[in-house]
């Protein structure tokens, strides 16, 4: 029979070990007790906003609380990031970051926030494929043929993008860097006008976001040579990755992930991540997101932290090597 005094000592030790966790557990049990706010740094209707709405609706159902999508557009994602960085780390404020936020630190010298120091990662949400497409009149049918054509016809080819410093621009610069091609960049104000000139043959090539490319791929108005994902896209599995089509290690796609203001309670981040993964792995949610051009990408906070750091380093190298400069205020 166990000594009663020993039982009291063990019980006391257990209580003392558990005590530091009691406030955290009580916070988790009480959360959320009011609406939860999600800042989206782009206008309604874009891929990041669409992803946010696919995710936040079921999260609100899980939490039995309203979820509010707060669109704070401006300056290519800067306005929303600045707004989110200043919010209280109380577990009721979150931020949908995008690839823009891994590029901006290398393009803008005076950002009033730090995407790594001012936020805690919650988890990835989605990736948006970038597809290398060409006008069908260009006599190339594979990535390898495109590389060979450019080297045989220096200065002849150009690629359109949705704007300087954006994901579709940097995807092309990364391609040039990894292949030794010198395809000229032609920036536009958005994906739609860029694609129109590719369709018209004014520009031969575009590293296009999935939603912009798919309708024209289906109609045959453009020819898809490769997708920037490391694995084939579920949206168009017949298209090889650029990596497998001739550029080993190539990886470029747009993405969105969830951050929280630095200092948000760890138990809340753990809860939100678990529920986010639950939502992203739901069959109906995944089907809807894929139809809208977004591939669900669930993961842990630490995986998102590592991913964000790698994106910052990768695009800094590309921007530096390509001497990309964006005018302040543009």
Average pLDDT of adjacent 10-residue blocks, the chain of 330 residues: 41 39 48 97 90 97 98 93 98 96 93 97 96 98 98 96 90 96 93 94 95 90 96 92 97 96 98 98 95 93 98 95 75
pLDDT at 1: 44
Q: What is the pLDDT of residue 291?
A: 87
> What is the rounded distance in angstroms from the CA atom of residue 260 to the CA atom of residue 84?
8
Residue for token pair 């610069």: 173
Instruction: Tell me what pLDDT residue 103 has.
Output: 95
Q: Residue 163 belongs to a domain with what CATH number?
A: 3.40.190.10
Does one domain contain both 156 and 290?
no
The alpha-carbon radius of gyration of the chain (Å, integer) is 23
> 221 with 260, same domain?
no
- Is 234 within a domain? no
Predicted confidence at residue 12, as pLDDT, reads: 40
Same domain, 138 and 221: yes
Nearest residue to 175 (alpha-carbon basis) of 209, 199, 207, 217: 207
Which H or E element spans position 98?
Answer: strand 93-98
Q: Is residue 288 part of a domain?
A: yes
pLDDT at 263: 98
Overall domain count for the chain: 2
The pLDDT value recorded for residue 327 is 64
Do 118 and 40 share a structural domain? yes
Q: Is 22 domain-assigned?
A: no
pLDDT of residue 4: 43
Residue 242 forms part of a structural domain: no
User: Which residues are within 8 A (CB) of 6 and not within 5 positions of it... i.e. 6 or more apart?
Assistant: none
Q: Are residues 280 and 304 in the same domain?
A: yes
Give the CATH number, domain containing residue 62. 3.40.190.150
pLDDT of 19 reads 37
The answer to whether position 2 is within a domain reads: no
What pLDDT is stored for residue 183 in this prediction? 98
**217 domain residue, yes or no:** yes
Q: Considering the domain boundaries, does residue 153 fall inside one? A: yes
Indicate whether 156 and 211 sit together in one domain. Answer: yes
Q: What is the pLDDT of residue 214?
A: 87
pLDDT of residue 14: 40
Whether the CB-CB separation of 222 and 136 falls below 8 Å is answered with yes
Domain stop point among 227, 245, 279: 227
Q: Residue 2's pLDDT is what?
A: 46
Q: Do 195 and 219 belong to one domain?
A: yes
Backbone dihedral angles phi then psi of residue 156, each to the nearest 5 degrees: -90, -35
Domain, as residue range, for 151:
129-227
Question: Beta strands of 195-306 (E only): which ranges?
Answer: 205-209, 223-227, 253-261, 295-296
Query: Exposure string (b/e) for 197-225, b if CB count within 10 Å is 16 or more?
Result: bbbeeebbbbbbbbbbbbebbeeeebbbb
């Amino acid at each position: 029979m166990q000594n009663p005094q020993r039982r009291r000592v063990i019980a006391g030790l257990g209580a003392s070990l558990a005590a530091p966790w009691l406030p955290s557990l009580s916070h988790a049990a009480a959360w959320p007790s009011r609406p939860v706010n999600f800042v989206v740094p782009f206008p309604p209707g874009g891929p990041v906003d669409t992803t946010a709405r696919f995710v936040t609706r079921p999260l609100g159902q899980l939490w039995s609380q309203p979820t509010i999508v707060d669109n704070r557009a401006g300056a290519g994602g800067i306005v929303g990031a600045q707004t989110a960085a200043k919010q209280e780390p109380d577990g009721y404020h979150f931020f949908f970051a995008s690839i823009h936020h891994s590029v901006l630190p290398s393009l803008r010298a005076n950002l009033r926030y730090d995407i790594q120091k001012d936020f805690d990662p919650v988890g990835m949400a989605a990736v948006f494929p970038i597809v290398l497409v060409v006008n069908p009149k260009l006599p190339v049918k594979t990535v390898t043929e495109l590389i060979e054509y450019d080297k045989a016809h220096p200065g002849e080819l150009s690629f359109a993008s949705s704007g300087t410093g954006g994901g579709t621009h940097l995807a092309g610069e990364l391609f040039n860097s990894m292949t030794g091609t010198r395809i000229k960049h032609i920036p536009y104000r958005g994906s739609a006008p860029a694609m129109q000139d590719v369709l018209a043959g004014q520009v031969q090539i575009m590293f296009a976001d999935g939603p912009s490319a798919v309708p024209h791929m289906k109609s045959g108005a453009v020819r898809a040579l490769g997708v920037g994902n490391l694995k084939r896209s579920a949206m168009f599995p017949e298209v090889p990755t650029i990596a497998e089509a001739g550029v080993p290690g190539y990886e470029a796609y747009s993405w969105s992930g969830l951050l929280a203001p630095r200092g948000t309670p760890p138990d809340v981040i753990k809860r939100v991540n678990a529920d986010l993964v639950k939502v992203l792995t739901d069959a109906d949610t995944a089907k809807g997101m894929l139809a809208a051009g977004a591939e669900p990408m669930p993961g842990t906070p630490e995986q998102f932290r590592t991913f964000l750091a790698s994106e910052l380093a990768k695009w800094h190298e590309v921007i530096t090597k390509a001497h990309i400069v964006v005018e302040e205020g543009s």
